[in-house]
């Protein structure tokens, strides 16, 4: 017998699986990359450099991989430095390749958050791990970031001085602090700083009337920007060039308070090619603050300090009962006039509400170019014909020089108020037998003449075509040529008037072209600064990131993130170590596109 040979049979797939294999593979190929194992979202944080001098500004950046948007954490509460958020930017890139006729697309998502950091004390500045919230509600955490802050070399001479007009003040009273920096040698970069802005003081800048004329400098200190200027001062009998600025300081509480010390760090020129970082400090300023006395405090006192005056005007003064009267009140006194936030309380004047109705809108503030003046206006209406005057308006204040309360008063304003005759239903009845108020003559036919209009076939038969001889007459030629010539001259006049005459307007209209030229010559930073300078009438070297952000916001540009990123680009070259931009240089085409978009937004806002 022969043994039977059995042929092995290959296993067959389950009948329920075979129809779904091909569709399943197709679906898997169409899934997004993240579903197939895309890199997980991560975040990194780092400073633009490992160390810096006290007073320098550096960049702090958080890079979130795998997303196109992320929320910025709040770093304002971190101690040891001030953090200014410079905006976020989407740095997503896409790479397309074709292999064997097939198109492959790979995207790399990245979102960058940036801050400008100013260290305020030497040592190690630590930014703890930060929680970054993503658009889908999830979050990632950054690692810890550190920066070494180095104390510059101390000057051996008292080149920085700070004095105050009066070291004994009442709470709320202002005094000027004068800061003088003697320039004993050539100085390049510098920055002023104080201690953390003290909660015991209200500090305001002092801006002179000559600000913006090219002879002033900006000083950022105590969280404000004030105006500096060049002058001369003496040290040990020698006359030196000096840099000076002033602050208005008001104590917020009673007691012995300390302001400062104020410091300045600068690069001192040693040789033609080398500098050294130096720092100078003032002595602390000690202020003795006193509470205002309770004795003699008049009603209506709002905390106004210093000798003040009040003046009132009204228009019109000859009115009927119920007619609107515009009342304007001007309060004069020493700056900062922190207690003058609204006009006087008219309801506190005895009998005022009996004689006048006051507008429900209250006082309206009128800006003034003169310091030490606040003007407010409102509308009042006389309620009866017996009103003879607007009474004197009182303004209580405390005079620190005399140590007592006083009251300033305006002069009464005479009025002539007339009664209004009441109209009754009887006044509306007209007697049918009364003569008409206006007599009208009957219409009569007009004789043929200049104004008569002929009609009929005879008019068409009389129509004549002018011959060539008639067209050569001077009167006819003048009638034909004069209207086009006059119209052309009028158009030229309108066009000439519409063109900008002043240099500032010309520079503003040419801001984009000037920025494009600066981009070709000097790079992205110069392009941004040139545009801001031309658009707002500034000097390119004097434009700062904070100024640009504020001016563009006031001009009506709504895209704050885009603006912040532009300003961050303009400052990255300046603050990065060695003059190199932070990260990769910005794309020039993208930069000019953003500048053009901002320029269009500003033009729309001015219409």
Tell me the pLDDT tens digit for each residue of 193-220: 876 556 789 898 988 765 555 567 888 8
324 and 220, same domain (yes or no): no
Range with the poorest average pLDDT among 230-244, 307-321, 446-460, 470-484: 446-460
Answer for the pair 80, 121: CB distance below 8 angstroms, yes or no: yes
Contact of 222 with 261, CB cutoff 8 Å = no
> Would residue 218 count as lying in a domain?
yes
Domain count within the chain: 4
Q: Which of 227-236, 338-347, 380-389, 536-545 has the lowest mean pLDDT?
A: 536-545
From CA 210, how far away is CA 204, in angstroms rounded? 18
Contacts of 398 (CB under 8 A, 6+ apart): 170, 292, 301, 304, 305, 306, 404, 405, 406
Stated as kind and residue range, the H or E segment containing 178 is strand 175-182
Question: In this structure, are 132 and 162 located in the same domain?
Answer: no
- For residues 70 and 541, which has the higher predicted lDDT (pLDDT)? 70
Are 190 and 63 members of one domain? no
The pLDDT, as a whole number, for residue 33 is 42
- 462 lies in some domain: no
What pTM, to 2 d.p., does this model score?
Answer: 0.51
SS3 401: coil
What is the predicted pLDDT for the residue at 602? 78
- Please provide the distance, in angstroms rounded to a whole number, between the alpha carbons at the two ends of the chain: 110
pLDDT digits (tens, 9 = 90+) for 460-509: 555 555 665 666 677 767 777 878 887 788 777 766 665 555 566 677 77
> Does residue 303 lie within any of the structural domains?
no
Q: Are residues 171 and 279 in the same domain?
A: yes
d(CA 75, CA 83): 6
Angle at 427 between CA 424 and CA 433, to 5 degrees: 155
Mean pLDDT of 530-541: 79
Contact present, 405 and 297 (Cβ < 8 Å): yes
**Quick one: which of 468, 582, 483, 551 has its CA closest to 89?**
582
> Residues 183, 284: one domain?
yes
> Quick one: 161 and 273 in the same domain?
yes
Is residue 185 in a domain? yes
Q: In the structure encoding, which two tokens stand for residue 596, read together?
A: 């053009």
Look at residue 60 in the predicted model and tell me its pLDDT: 96
* Domain end point (choices 383, 398, 418): 418
Domain that holds residue 397: 309-418
Residue 449 resides in a domain: no
The answer on 161 and 133 residing in a single domain is no
Instruction: Encode 500-557 in three state secondary structure.
Output: CCCHHHHHHHCHHHHHHHHHHHHCHHHHHHHHHHHHHCCCHHHCCHHHHHHHHHHCCC
Give residue-wise pLDDT tens across range 292-311: 998 888 888 888 888 889 99
Q: How confident is the model at residue 577 (pLDDT cuts 50, 70, 90)?
A: very low
* Boundary of a domain, candidates 369, 390, 418: 418
Tell me the per-residue pLDDT of 135-152, one tens digit each, with 9 for 90 and over.
888 999 999 999 999 988
Q: For residue 314, what are the β-bridge partners? A: 327
pLDDT at residue 256 above 90?
yes
| Domain end among 244, 260, 290 | 290
- 373 domain residue, yes or no: yes
Q: Specify whether 102 is located in the same domain as 180.
A: no
Please indicate, yes or no, whether residues 158 and 271 belong to a single structural domain of this protein.
yes
Residue 64 sits in the same domain as residue 80: yes
Task: Give me the helices (H) in 234-360, please.
Answer: 352-355
Does residue 112 form part of some domain? Answer: yes
Mean pLDDT calculated for residue range 287-295: 92
Which tens digits make up the pLDDT trace of 399-423? 988 889 999 999 999 999 998 766 5
CATH number of domain containing 374: 2.60.40.10
Q: Are residues 80 and 145 in the same domain?
A: yes
Q: Does residue 550 or residue 257 have the better pLDDT?
A: 257
CATH number of the domain that residue 103 is part of: 2.60.40
Residue 434 has pLDDT above 60, yes or no: no
497 within some domain: no
555 has pLDDT over 60? yes
- Do 161 and 286 fall into the same domain? yes
């Amino acid at each position: 017998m022969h043994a039977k040979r059995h042929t092995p049979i290959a296993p067959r797939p389950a009948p329920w699986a075979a129809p779904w294999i091909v569709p399943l593979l197709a679906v898997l190929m169409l899934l997004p990359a993240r579903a197939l194992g895309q890199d997980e979202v991560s975040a990194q944080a780092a400073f633009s450099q490992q160390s810096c001098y006290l007073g320098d500004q550096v960049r702090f950046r958080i890079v979130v991989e795998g997303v196109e948007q992320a929320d910025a954490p709040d770093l304002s509460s971190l101690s040891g430095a001030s953090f200014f958020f410079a905006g976020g930017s989407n740095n997503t890139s896409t790479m397309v390749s074709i292999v064997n006729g097939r198109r492959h697309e790979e995207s790399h998502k990245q979102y960058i958050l940036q801050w400008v950091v100013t260290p305020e004390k030497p040592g190690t500045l630590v930014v703890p791990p930060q929680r970054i919230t993503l658009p889908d509600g999830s979050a990632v955490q950054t690692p810890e970031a550190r920066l070494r802050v180095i104390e510059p070399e101390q000057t051996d001479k008292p080149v920085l001085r700070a004095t105050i007009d009066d070291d004994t003040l009442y709470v709320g009273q202002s005094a000027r602090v004068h800061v003088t920096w003697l320039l004993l040698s050539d100085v390049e970069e510098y920055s002023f700083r104080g201690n953390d802005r003290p909660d015991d003081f209200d500090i305001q800048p002092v801006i002179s009337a000559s600000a913006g004329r090219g002879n002033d400098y900006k000083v950022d200190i105590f969280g404000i920007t004030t105006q500096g200027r060049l002058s001369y001062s003496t040290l040990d009998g020698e006359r030196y060039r000096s840099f000076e600025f002033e602050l208005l300081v008001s104590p917020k509480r009673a007691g012995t308070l300390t302001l400062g010390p104020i410091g300045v760090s600068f690069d001192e020129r040693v040789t033609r090619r080398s500098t050294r970082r130096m720092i100078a400090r003032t002595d602390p300023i000690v202020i003795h603050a006193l509470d205002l006395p309770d004795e003699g405090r008049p009603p209506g006192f709002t905390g106004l300090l210093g000798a003040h005056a009040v003046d009132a005007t009204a228009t019109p003064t000859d009115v009927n009962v119920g007619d609107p009267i515009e009342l304007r009140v001007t309060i004069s006194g020493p700056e900062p006039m922190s207690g003058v936030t609204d006009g006087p309380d008219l309801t506190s004047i005895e009998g005022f509400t009996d004689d006048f109705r006051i507008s429900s809108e209250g006082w309206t503030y009128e800006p003034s170019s003169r310091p030490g003046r606040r003007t407010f206006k409102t509308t009042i209406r006389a309620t009866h014909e017996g009103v003879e005057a607007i009474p004197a308006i009182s303004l209580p204040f405390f005079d620190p020089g005399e140590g007592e309360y006083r009251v300033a008063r305006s002069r009464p304003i005479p009025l002539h108020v007339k009664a209004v005759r009441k109209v009754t239903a009887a006044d509306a009845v007209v007697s049918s037998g009364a003569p008409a108020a206006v007599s009208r003559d009957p219409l009569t036919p007009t004789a043929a003449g200049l104004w008569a209009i002929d009609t009929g076939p005879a008019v068409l038969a009389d129509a004549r075509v002018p011959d060539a001889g008639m067209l050569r007459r001077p009167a006819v030629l003048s009638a034909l040529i004069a209207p086009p010539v006059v119209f052309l001259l009028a158009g030229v006049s309108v066009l000439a008037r519409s063109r900008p005459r002043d240099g500032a307007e010309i520079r503003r209209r040419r801001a984009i072209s000037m920025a494009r030229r600066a981009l070709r010559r000097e790079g992205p930073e110069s392009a941004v600064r040139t545009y801001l300078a031309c658009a707002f009438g500034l000097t390119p070297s004097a434009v700062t990131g904070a100024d640009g952000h504020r001016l563009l916001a006031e001009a009506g540009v709504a895209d704050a993130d885009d603006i912040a990123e532009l300003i961050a680009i303009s400052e990255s070259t300046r603050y990065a170590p060695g003059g190199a931009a932070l990260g990769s240089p910005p794309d020039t085409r993208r930069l000019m596109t953003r500048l053009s978009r901002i320029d269009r937004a500003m033009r729309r806002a001015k219409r």
